């Protein structure tokens, strides 16, 4: 502790002289998290505020801002979010904690601007929610797996304290895994709604077990008419989700293409189709006497009427994950999951 305090005193003197951040030396990667601070760290109160350093000195010290997303309904992620926030604050980071229960599914959160990194505590569902918010602000994500599957996560909870420093300090072993997203425009009853999705866009029948008719147009070409329970348009990321469950092909996450897959088609010849990355797909659903369902990422859901139209194209936004695992880890996790190993 005395050594650490000596480092901090020296760093403070250097800041007064040069007005530049000073990285404190340490005996391990984790110790390198301790950065020089000037003034005292304020503790944020309540939901949705970054904690900031307060000082009367006019010198401006750059401090990395970190966002922590967690699922407040789950005690384990809430507790980890609390302890992680305290740890980062003590290491001179500004921290904003976001309970995704309180965040709108489709709205942009402008207060995330300026955050350099987002740590997301949860399963793939929590990451999907956080990914849409982070994409607007171009914030990379480190996912910590508190869920069952964990296709999108990077770390396990017991790795968080020892390995987070690699991502915070931009270690050379860290690379950016960029994922394509989809933009969907839903047209019905003279209104339009827009959605952003990392996994998939789905239109399907309602509660009655009757097939619906879906007219598919690709780049203004009338491709086909499908009679099925519904249809999925998924990204490469989403190919391991609902698309895989209904027998669709798996795409490597770095593939920019999307895949169109029918759900329980009436004809066996109605197969999946992998599309070129810039394709624009128009789906019009005819539900007869019942209403249908529209879903983006399985989280933003709408009831849709007979004749509703959805136009889907590649989004201008992307999701960025920070990785240390090699790109070939995708094959390892797919092999494990297909064998029923949830570890």
**Is residue 48 assigned to a domain?**
no
Residues 6 and 149 in one domain: yes
Residues 200 and 232 in one domain: yes
The pLDDT of residue 327: 86
Q: What's the average model confidence in pLDDT over 19-47?
A: 31
Q: Which residue has the tokens 């999701």?
A: 319
Residues 168 and 65 in one domain: yes
d(CA 175, CA 146): 23
User: 257, exposed or middle or buried, with CB in 10 Å at 0-12, 13-18, 19+?
Assistant: middle
Q: What's the average model confidence in pLDDT over 1-7?
A: 38
Q: Is the pLDDT of residue 296 over 50?
A: yes
Q: Which residue has the tokens 């770390």?
A: 155
Q: For position 39, which CATH number holds?
A: 3.40.50.10330
The pLDDT of residue 340: 67
- What is the total count of domains within the chain? 2
Task: Convert 47-66 to b/e letters by CB count within 10 Å (16 or more is b).
Answer: eeebbebeeeeeeebebbbb
Residues 255 and 230 in one domain: yes
- 30-34, 211-215, 285-289: range with lowest mean pLDDT: 30-34
Residues 155 and 253 in one domain: no
Residues 306 and 263 in one domain: yes
The pLDDT of residue 170: 92
Residues 173 and 261 in one domain: no
- Reported as a pLDDT band with limits 50, 70 and 90, residue 102 is confident
Please pick, among 99, 102, 124, 335, the residue that the annotation labels catalytic: 124
Range of the domain at 93: 2-43+54-178+320-338
Q: Which residue has the tokens 């690699």?
A: 166
- 38-42, 72-76, 174-178, 339-343: range with lowest mean pLDDT: 38-42
Cβ neighbors of 313 (< 8 A, separation 6 or more) are 182, 183, 278, 279, 280, 281
**124 part of the active site:** yes
Residues 229 and 166 in one domain: no
Averaged confidence pLDDT in the chain: 82
The SS3 assignment for 112 reads: helix
- 21-35, 52-66, 239-253, 313-327: range with lowest mean pLDDT: 21-35
pLDDT in tens, 35-94: 322 222 222 323 333 434 333 444 445 579 999 999 888 889 999 999 999 999 999 999
């Amino acid at each position: 502790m005395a050594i650490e305090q000596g480092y901090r005193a020296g760093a403070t003197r250097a800041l007064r002289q040069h007005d530049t951040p000073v990285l404190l030396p340490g005996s391990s990667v984790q110790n390198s998290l301790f950065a020089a601070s000037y003034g005292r760290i304020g503790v944020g109160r309540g939901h949705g505020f970054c904690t900031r350093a307060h000082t009367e000195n006019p010198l401006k010290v750059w401090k990395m801002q970190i966002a922590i997303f967690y699922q407040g309904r789950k005690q384990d992620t809430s507790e980890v979010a609390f302890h992680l926030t305290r740890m980062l604050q003590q290491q001179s980071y500004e921290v904003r904690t976001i309970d995704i229960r309180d965040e709108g599914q489709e709205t942009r959160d402008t207060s995330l601007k300026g955050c350099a990194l987002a740590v997301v505590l949860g399963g793939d569902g929590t990451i999907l929610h956080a990914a849409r918010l982070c994409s607007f602000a171009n914030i990379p994500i480190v996912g910590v797996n508190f869920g069952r599957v964990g296709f999108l996560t990077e770390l396990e909870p017991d790795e968080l304290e020892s390995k987070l420093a690699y991502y915070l300090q931009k270690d050379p072993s860290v690379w950016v895994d960029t994922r394509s997203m989809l933009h969907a425009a839903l047209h019905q009853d003279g209104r339009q709604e827009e959605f952003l999705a990392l996994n998939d866009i789905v239109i399907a029948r309602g509660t009655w077990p009757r097939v619906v008719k879906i007219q598919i147009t690709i780049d203004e070409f009338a491709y086909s008419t499908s009679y099925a329970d519904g249809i999925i348009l998924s990204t490469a990321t989403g190919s391991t989700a609902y698309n895989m469950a209904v027998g669709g092909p798996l795409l490597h996450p770095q593939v920019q293409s999307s895949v169109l897959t029918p759900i329980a088609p009436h004809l066996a010849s109605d197969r999946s189709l992998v599309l070129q990355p810039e394709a624009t797909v128009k789906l019009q659903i005819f539900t007869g006497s019942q209403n249908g369902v529209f879903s983006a990422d399985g989280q933003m859901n709408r009831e849709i009427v007979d004749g509703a139209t959805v136009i889907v194209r590649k989004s201008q936004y992307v999701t960025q994950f920070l990785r240390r695992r090699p790109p070939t880890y995708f094959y390892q996790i797919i092999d494990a999951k297909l064998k029923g190993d949830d570890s």
